[in-house]
Structure 1
Amino acid sequence: MKTKVDISSAEEEKAKDEEIFITVSDALEYLFCPRFIFFMHCLGIAQREERRYKVLKGRELHESREKVNRDYVRKRLKCTRKEISVYLTSRGHHLKGEVDEVLFLEDGTAAPMDYKFAEWKKTVYRTHKYQAALYGLLIMEHYGVDVNRGYVCYTRSNHHVEEINLGGKDYKRAEQMVREILMIIQREYYPDGTKQKARCMDPAFRSKAMQN
């Protein structure tokens, strides 16, 4: 008679790890305030504005792709081809996300292109930079090509396209950020909030935040 084989706690933890995938959107929430990860994944509280944002971005994205001239992408960015709305996952990085566009460039590298329903403020915010880095991790693993830059199209500034340089430090920080998010979810601990306290008083989470 066969007996049930006990699984060690280490193996259970490994199995649990393999089932968890962090989305690129999770990482952006984490950058805004780490406690949002606790609210969403440990308490099951969704953001109220998330659905509205996705609807707005979806409409704007469709229009923007028509307005960002194909010749501009091909000539200015030296793009040989592109793939649109590419959903990628990585077990190794415990990461998943949908890239607006994956651009394949003349130098043999690739780059993510993300469309923002926003104005260009003459600065690249860290959320935009690390979003590009996280997409870069997914693209490199899936396609087996280097990604040393990303692009952001700011749709409310006449579709201004800005290049973001990506290096080893950016990728290491992106990987570390995913590990930190996994730790919050696995251990279900309440992390320190952002130094900008107003962020943790976001209407979507204010009532629950006041209870913790």
Structure 2
Amino acid sequence: MNMPLTVTDVVEYSFCPKFPYFINVLGLDQYEQKRGTVTAGRKLHQLHERNNPNYTPHTSNGKKLVARKFYSAKLDLSGKIDEAIEMDDEIILIERKYSDICDISDTLLVQLGLLSILIEENLGKPVKKAVVIFNKTQRKQIPVVIDDAIKNHSLEILEKTKKVIQMGIMPDADFDNRCLNCCFRKICPVGSLNSK
């Protein structure tokens, strides 16, 4: 692999193991710009990056980090945070989601785990908690404890993602409701080319 994997690549594997095959092996595009929710979410992120760059949404005294990119040579992984609050002895990760479904899913935990690892490696301070802010028609903040189990699970998903790309074989995945709105639904076989 010439380019490092991104946290988004790994999160997509967590959503469906076939995503890194379609995107990183076959080089297919998701055409996210055609999806209204994705576009609206990006606009919301840009708005928060621009407005009130020093405002912290918590009663914490710390330095606000906005839209910072991090890289790990050890993991060959890069990622971009929405926001974080750098305190004296720790960093609080803030992730914004444009959704009314206020659910801390496995894909979100993988994202938080990998971003926490990148922050810790680059800034040398622990990330013990995150706050996920869901914001579409309502606003809800959910605190998440970032522990070793979340970080280790995220690293396992990272390794599985790398394996799919290195082997170049489409992995198995189960059909479920996510498939109905998938950008690859027209080309994705229900089974796998590498059946057991």
TM over 0.5: yes
The CA deviation string for residues 61-103 of structure 1, in whole angstroms up to 9 with x for no partner, is: 2445658993642x1xx24111111011111112111101121
Alignment: residue pair count: 189
Amino acid at match of 1:31: S
Cα–Cα, structure 1 residues 174 and 80, in superposed 2: closer, same or farther, change >3 Å? same
Report deviation, 1:200: 4.1
Structure 2 match to 1:176: 156
1:1-212 alignment, distance < 5 Å: 16=1, 19-49=2-32, 52=35, 53-64=37-48, 66=51, 70=55, 72-73=57-58, 75=59, 78-105=60-87, 108-119=89-100, 121=102, 123-156=103-136, 158-193=138-173, 195-200=174-179, 202-210=181-189
Report deviation, 1:201: 5.3
Cα–Cα, structure 1 residues 71 and 183, in superposed 2: closer, same or farther, change >3 Å? closer
Cα–Cα, structure 1 residues 210 and 116, in superposed 2: closer, same or farther, change >3 Å? same
Report deviation, 1:51: 6.1
Cα–Cα, structure 1 residues 130 and 79, in superposed 2: closer, same or farther, change >3 Å? farther
SS of residue paired to 2:109: helix
Distance (whole Å) between structure 1 residues aligned to residue 92 and residue 63 of structure 2: 11
Cα–Cα, structure 1 residues 138 and 51, in superposed 2: closer, same or farther, change >3 Å? farther
SS of residue paired to 2:186: helix
SS of residue paired to 2:28: coil
Cα–Cα, structure 1 residues 163 and 157, in superposed 2: closer, same or farther, change >3 Å? farther
Alignment check: 8 A CA contact 1:120 1:157 kept: no
Gaps of 5+ in 2: none
User: If each structure's helix is expressed as a fraction of its own residues, which one has the higher value?
Assistant: 1
Cα–Cα, structure 1 residues 27 and 192, in superposed 2: closer, same or farther, change >3 Å? same
Distance (whole Å) between structure 2 residues aligned to residue 51 and residue 90 of structure 1: 31
| Identity level (%) | 21
Alignment check: 8 A CA contact 1:110 1:146 kept: yes
The CA deviation string for residues 116-145 of structure 1, in whole angstroms up to 9 with x for no partner, is: 101253x42222222111110110000001
Alignment check: 8 A CA contact 1:68 1:159 kept: no
Q: Kindly name which structure, 1 or 2, has the bigger radius of gyration based on alpha carbons.
A: 1
Amino acid at match of 2:163: M
Distance (whole Å) between structure 1 residues aligned to residue 180 and residue 168 of structure 2: 20
> Which piece of structure 1 moves more, 30-39 or 153-162?
153-162
Report deviation, 1:24: 1.3
Distance (whole Å) between structure 2 residues aligned to residue 98 and residue 104 of structure 1: 15
